[in-house]
């Protein structure tokens, strides 16, 4: 049965900095395909769309990631004293307003929000939606709503909050707001993974999700809270979806959004990678979320190379085994060294491999950061510093509250990783700038390659 229109909204980001590293509103696109399967008519308005018709010069053809369009905005009061420029990232407000005004009033509006500290972007979006569609109920889901539901309800004034994975709660929520009976069963559970890419204005790459959730429980991560169970599709389904979409959208870049793609690689990642190495070796794969270091064997490294992986990001976080023992045990230093060796033996170049290192953790000293960076350089990979953001509900949340000088419990803006809000006094922006400069110098001077080759020889 045909049902009315539902508007899906990806709101603006308000932040000091944001970069479009293959960002797509995957959760909304997946809901879009499920809604369409139930007879609803979903429409997406993506406030971050780099391909919006008003931004024709923003992204050159063939470029799948890059800058967002941004406009300087006033800092919210809690951030008033932070000496950095604050911006709205995404399509200009007037352009989104015009797009919304062209639409027939939708039956329901679904909004998402990734980071808790981006909520002022949601508030701005909701205010405009209320002006244009005063009668339409607003439902907010996603990470911010799942981690801070009470704050989200109060700050945005939406009609309903959905906590956790939305797909099973949404049919009842839609019934409450529209009186359309929920469709009892989704005929195909694989739909929980398949985005409706027709909702996008342009498909430059395929966003792919082969699994949801993660079997690990790292103390600094929200994966378990947002997606409590670890679920996977079958390798055959993944292969089929990619094969169909590569042809349909004529693209050659695949971006994996998984948290744990390489878990039990023999039965899962390897059949997928081998299939594409055999039949579509010209595809280029990217993994912005980081791969599990301990799962990289010579066979896996070789399969990644043959399938066409280009951007390898390793979730090292720290070179210290003590850190890993106490934070979730997802890897060890020796496993990291072996993984790097296997990747290089498989033919990956140094500049294709980056290692994420967490900085600004509660209690972390500057000497620890310097030690982690030096060890990553010695391993011959580019250390990528990732500022820690305190996440409500994570195991590190209570230590973050004890360490911070900000009211992170009541004000999500203070959870912004740019503030280094849980860091000790030694870890400052000046310190991190110095470390980043040192990393760049080590790369430019070739020191990283000398260190790496002596370690792996």
> Are 136 and 400 contacting, i.e. CB atoms less than 8 angstroms apart?
no
Angle between helical axes of 447-456 and 429-444 (0-180°, round to 10):
70
CB atoms inside a 10 Å sphere around CB 249: 16
Least distance to ligand SF4 from the beta carbon of 122, Å? 24
User: Nearest distance from residue 331's CB to ligand SF4, in Å?
Assistant: 9
* CB 258, min distance to ligand SF4, A: 9
Contact between 390 and ligand SF4 (CB under 6 A)?
no
- H-helix or E-strand spanning residue 310: strand 309-317
**Contact indicator for 369, 439 with CB cutoff of 8 Å:** no
Q: Are strands 284-286 and 87-89 parallel, antiparallel or unpaired?
A: unpaired
The residue among 45 and 226 lying less far from ligand SF4, judged by its C-beta, is 226
Least Cβ distance, residue 261 to ligand SF4 (angstroms): 11
Of 318 and 403, nearer to ligand SF4 (C-beta) is: 318
Does residue 305 interact with ligand SF4 by CB under 6 A?
Answer: no
Phi/psi for 167 (5° steps) reads: -60, -30
Structure letter (DSSP) for residue 70: E
Count of alpha carbons within 13 Å of 190, Cβ hemisphere only? 12
Q: List the helix and strand counts (H, then E) for the chain.
A: 16, 16
Choosing from 28, 48, 221, 272, the residue that interacts with ligand SF4 (CB under 6 A) is 221
Beta carbon of residue 228, minimum distance to ligand SF4 (angstroms, whole number): 12
Residue 176 C-beta: closest distance to ligand SF4, Å: 33
**Site membership for ligand SF4, residue 218 (CB under 6 A):** yes
315 near ligand SF4 (CB under 6 A):
yes
List residues bridging with 206 in a β-sheet: 254
- Which residue of 164, 171, 328, 371 would you call a contact of ligand SF4, by CB under 6 A? 328
214 is a contact residue toward ligand SF4 (CB under 6 A): yes
Q: What x-and-dash track marks residues 255-284 binding ligand SF4 by CB under 6 A?
A: ----xx------------------------
Binding mask 222-241 for ligand SF4 (x = CB under 6 A): -x------------------
With contacts defined by CB under 6 A, name the span among 21-29, 37-45, 212-220, 364-372 that binds ligand SF4: 212-220
Taking the complex as a whole, how short is the minimal distance between the CB of residue 438 and ligand SF4, in angstroms? 26
For 303, the 3-state DSSP assignment is helix
Q: How many residues bind ligand SF4 (CB under 6 A)?
A: 11
Rg (CA), the chain: 22
Contact between 216 and ligand SF4 by CB under 6 A: the answer reads yes
Enter the DSSP assignment of 161. E
Decide if residue 395 touches ligand SF4 (CB under 6 A).
Answer: no
Q: Pick the closest to residue 141 from 9, 36, 284 (CA basis).
A: 9
- Sequence length of the chain is 457
Smallest distance, ligand SF4 to C-beta of residue 381, A: 18
State the nearest-atom distance from the C-beta of 300 to ligand SF4, in Å.
16
Tell me which residue of 270, 209, 239 sits closest to 24, measured CA to CA.
Answer: 209
**Contact between 330 and ligand SF4 per CB under 6 A:** yes
What distance lies between CA 16 and its chain's CA centroid? 17
Nearest residue (CB) to ligand SF4, 218 versus 361? 218
Sign of the dihedral through C-alpha 35, 89, 113, 110:
negative
> Which residues form the interface with ligand SF4 (CB under 6 A)?
214, 216-218, 221, 223, 259-260, 315, 328, 330
């Amino acid at each position: 049965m045909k049902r009315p229109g539902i508007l899906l909204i990806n709101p603006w980001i308000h932040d000091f900095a944001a970069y479009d590293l293959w960002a797509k509103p995957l959760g909304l696109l997946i809901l879009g395909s499920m809604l369409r399967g139930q007879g609803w008519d979903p429409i997406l308005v993506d406030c971050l769309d780099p391909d919006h018709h008003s931004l024709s010069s923003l992204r050159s053809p063939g470029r799948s990631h890059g800058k967002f369009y941004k406009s300087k905005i006033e800092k919210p009061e809690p951030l008033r004293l932070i000496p950095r420029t604050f911006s709205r990232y995404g399509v200009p407000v007037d352009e989104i307003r015009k797009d919304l005004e062209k639409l027939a009033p939708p039956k329901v509006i679904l909004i998402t929000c990734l980071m808790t500290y981006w909520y002022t972007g949601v508030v701005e979006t909701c205010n405009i939606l209320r002006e244009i569609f005063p009668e339409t109920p607003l439902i907010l889901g996603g990470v911010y709503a799942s981690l801070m539901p009470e704050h989200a309800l109060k700050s945005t004034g939406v009609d309903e909050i959905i906590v956790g994975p939305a797909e099973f709660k949404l049919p009842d929520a839609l019934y409450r707001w529209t009186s359309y009976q929920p469709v009892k069963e989704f005929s195909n559970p694989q739909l929980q993974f398949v985005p409706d890419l027709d909702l996008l204005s342009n498909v430059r790459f395929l966003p792919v999700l082969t699994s949801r959730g993660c079997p690990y429980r790292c103390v600094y991560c929200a994966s378990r809270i947002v997606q409590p169970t670890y679920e996977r599709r079958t390798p055959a389904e993944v292969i089929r979806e990619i094969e169909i979409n590569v042809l349909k959208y004529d693209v050659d870049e695949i971006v994996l959004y998984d948290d744990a793609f390489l878990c039990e690689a023999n039965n899962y990642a390897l059949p997928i990678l081998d299939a594409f190495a055999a039949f579509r070796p010209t595809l280029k794969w990217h993994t912005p979320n980081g791969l599990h270091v301990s799962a990289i064997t010579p066979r896996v490294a070789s399969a990644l190379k043959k399938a066409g992986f280009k951007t390898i990001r390793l979730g090292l976080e720290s070179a210290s085994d003590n850190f890993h023992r106490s934070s979730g045990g997802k890897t060890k230093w020796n496993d990291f060294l072996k993984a790097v060796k296997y990747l290089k033996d498989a033919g990956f170049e140094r500049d294709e491999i980056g290692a994420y290192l967490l900085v600004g953790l509660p209690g972390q000293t500057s000497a620890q950061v310097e030690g982690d960076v030096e060890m990553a350089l010695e391993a011959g990979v580019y250390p990528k510093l990732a500022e820690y953001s305190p996440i409500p509900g994570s195991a590190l949340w209570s230590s973050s509250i004890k360490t911070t000088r900000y009211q992170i419990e009541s004000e999500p803006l203070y959870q912004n990783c740019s503030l280094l809000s849980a860091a000790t006094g030694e870890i400052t922006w000046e310190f991190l700038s110095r470390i980043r400069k040192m990393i760049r110098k080590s790369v430019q001077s070739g020191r990283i390659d000398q260190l790496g080759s002596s370690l792996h020889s």
